[in-house]
């Protein structure tokens, strides 16, 4: 049995680094919720496992860089994926002070997100911790545990809003960074316009919630 190193434990799953057939992989194991009826729990757990695998597969089909799926073990609710080495975007931003490099990288982020949304893939948990820069300098989106497939401009706008809030809460004075993401997101296709308009609506709702406590 290969050694398992716990990387992260969230509300839904434990994430390990381990080996499978001599290959370094990430194992994401969803665990049961004791407060749910066992049959419902199995159904929900399997549904989220399958949805995450489908979203990753859809990204790969459209040349969006995500970890390759190595194995889906439905019996243990575990998704085995390619291990991607490299800093997260969060770490890269903290370590970098070159504004030109930052702008170039944010442009790539915006283009990738637009491509993902153009193929109706909603990530569901976009943060700078869920983007890795691999050893080739490519951006890799990870953690599709809350993902869905949707044509809704609202869902895509909320995806962007989640990332914007992540920038604000994690990276002080980062307004210019997210502005560069949005500039690239809407640069080449008019299909981005209704999503960006909806983003402003989502922002206004968010501000009202903040003011109301």
Over the range 50-85, which residues count as b (16 or more CB within 10 Å of their CB) and which as e?
A: ebbbbbbebbeeeebbbbebbeeeeeebbbbbebbe
Contacts of residue 28, Cβ cutoff 8 Å, sequence gap at least 6: 13, 14, 15, 16, 52, 78, 79, 80, 81, 145
Among 41, 75, 125, 155, the active-site one is: 125
d(CA 133, CA 107): 14
125 included as an active-site residue: yes
Question: Given the structure tokens 């976009």, which residue do they identify?
Answer: 126
Task: Tell me the pTM.
Answer: 0.91
105-158 tens-digit pLDDT: 999 999 999 999 999 999 999 999 999 999 999 999 999 999 999 999 999 999
d(CA 197, CA 112): 19
Contact between residue 99 and residue 133 where contact means Cβ atoms under 8 Å apart = no
92-110 tens-digit pLDDT: 999 988 999 999 999 999 9
Contact between residue 60 and residue 68 where contact means Cβ atoms under 8 Å apart = yes
Domains in the chain, CATH or no CATH each: 5-82 (3.30.200.20), 89-212 (1.10.510.10)
Confidence of residue 180 (pLDDT cuts 50, 70, 90): very high
């Amino acid at each position: 049995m290969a050694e398992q190193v716990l990387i992260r434990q969230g509300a839904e799953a434990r994430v390990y680094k381990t080996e499978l057939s001599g290959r370094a992989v990430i194992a994401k194991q969803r665990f049961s919720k004791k407060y749910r009826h066992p049959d419902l729990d199995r159904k929900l757990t399997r549904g989220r496992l399958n949805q995450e695998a489908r979203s990753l597969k859809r990204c790969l089909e459209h040349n969006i860089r995500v970890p390759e799926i190595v194995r889906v073990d439905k019996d243990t609710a575990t998704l085995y994926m390619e291990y991607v080495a490299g800093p997260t975007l969060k770490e890269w931003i903290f370590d970098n002070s070159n504004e030109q490099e930052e702008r170039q990288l944010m442009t790539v982020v915006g283009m990738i997100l637009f491509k993902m949304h153009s193929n109706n893939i909603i990530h569901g948990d976009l943060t700078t911790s869920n983007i890795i820069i691999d050893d080739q300098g490519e951006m890799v989106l990870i953690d599709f545990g809350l993902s869905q497939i949707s044509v809704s401009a609202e869902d895509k706008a909320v995806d962007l809003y989640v990332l914007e809030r992540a920038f604000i809460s994690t990276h002080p004075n980062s307004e210019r960074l997210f502005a560069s993401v949005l500039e690239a997101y809407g640069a080449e296709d008019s299909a981005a316009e209704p999503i960006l308009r909806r983003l402003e609506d989502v922002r206004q709702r968010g501000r009202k919630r903040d003011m109301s406590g």
